[in-house]
Structure 1
Amino acid sequence: MTAPALQHYCCNMIPALVPISGSPWDVLPPGTHAATLAEVETAFAYNPWRRVLYAGLIEACASLVRAGGRTVILDGSFVSAKPVPRDYDACWEPDGIDFALLDPVFADFDNERAKQKARFGGEFFPSTMVALDIGRVFTEFFQIDRFTGKRKGILSIAINTDETVLRRMKP
């Protein structure tokens, strides 16, 4: 008797990008889509600059996990079809965070978050913080296309259980 062959199935949970009339790039369809960082890498870290941004995202996520972080919401042109995004936008859930362990760079919003961008390649906001532009929390603000005002999607990443982050944190 021979051992049965194993089939491995992989499903990408990140949906295909969709066009929005009036927006220069395709974006995620409306909604909050669960994703892993490995899936983010496969879908969006496909050129040298995007890989630099992705590496910064991994570093930021590991730092947040060290402080008790559980979830990061990812947005911006990085999760669009824009070939060379300037950066990425993210917010982190404050539930479970030990603020004594949180890297102070996550609370530095000076000069358009220059220190965050220099260190991680993107900018981070607490998810419960209100975006002054529209008077809504960042998880809502991120779901509005800046060119058209129409709804678009975001990614939710459970960083405290994500294999990519956990491997990065091992000594």
Structure 2
Amino acid sequence: MIPSLVTLSGSPWDVLPPGIYPATFAEIEHGYAYNERRRFLFAGLIDASLHLAKAGCQIVFLDGSYVSAKPIPGDYDACWDPVGVDFTKLDPVFDDFDNGRANQKARFGGEFFPSTLMSLDIGAVFTEFFQIDRFTGKKKGILRITLSTDETIIRRMTS
């Protein structure tokens, strides 16, 4: 279950409390896809996650203003666990970081990083970087989606 958002002093929007929380796409849709922009971003997240799952990715972490109280997020941020991924099946867009990841954003509405990639901003992997609020530097939460057991992904992969 996704926890309720909390106020983080100095941050413009409420955020997830510190930690990594397991979530399903059904829960994410119910909790965050509540307007046209958010539904558009959610559709892109599902599309990207399907591509990753087909390449063998098991886990995606979700962050950004999408998992905050910001009414109209610009995009979402995600990282994916490369363990078990067949890189010959991975869509090249997931390795395209040019122009601020413009091709990823144009195709999926958000940006994706391998979870083991180091963020130069803090010198830590993206799963750690994502847990730092960019406005305050304080800890906040992210969501963890297990693609191999997620009903939404399973249903779409078999149809």
Q: TM-score, length-normalised on structure 2?
A: 0.99
Could you say which residue in structure 1 is the equivalent of 2:101? 113
- Deviation at 1:170? 2.6
Task: List alignment gaps of at least 5 residues for structure 1.
Answer: 1-12
Q: What is the aligned partner in structure 2 of residue 4 from structure 1? A: none
- The SS at the match of 2:7 is coil
Per the TM alignment, residue 166 of structure 1 is displaced from its structure 2 partner at its CA by 1.5
Secondary structure of 1:160's aligned partner: helix
Match of 1:82 among 70, 77, 96: 70
Structure ID, larger Rg = 1
Q: How does 1:10-21 map to 2 (within 5 A)?
A: 13-21=1-9
Q: Using the TM superposition, give the Cα deviation of residue 15 of structure 1 relative to its aligned residue in structure 2, in angstroms.
A: 0.1
Aligned: 1:164 with 2:152: yes
User: 1:58-97 residue pairs with structure 2 within 5 A?
Assistant: 58-97=46-85
2:136 to 139, 148, 152: 148
**Inter-partner Cα distance in structure 2 for 1:169 and 1:33:** 24
Amino acid in structure 2 at the alignment position of 1:53 = L
Q: 1:31 aligns with which of 19, 29, 38?
A: 19
Partner Cα separation in structure 1 for residue 138 and residue 88 of structure 2? 38
Q: Paired residues, what number? A: 159
Can you give the 5+ residue segments of structure 2 that lack an aligned partner in the other structure? Answer: none
TM-score by length of 1: 0.92
The alignment-based identity, stated in percent, is 69
Query: RMSD between aligned alpha carbons?
Result: 0.6
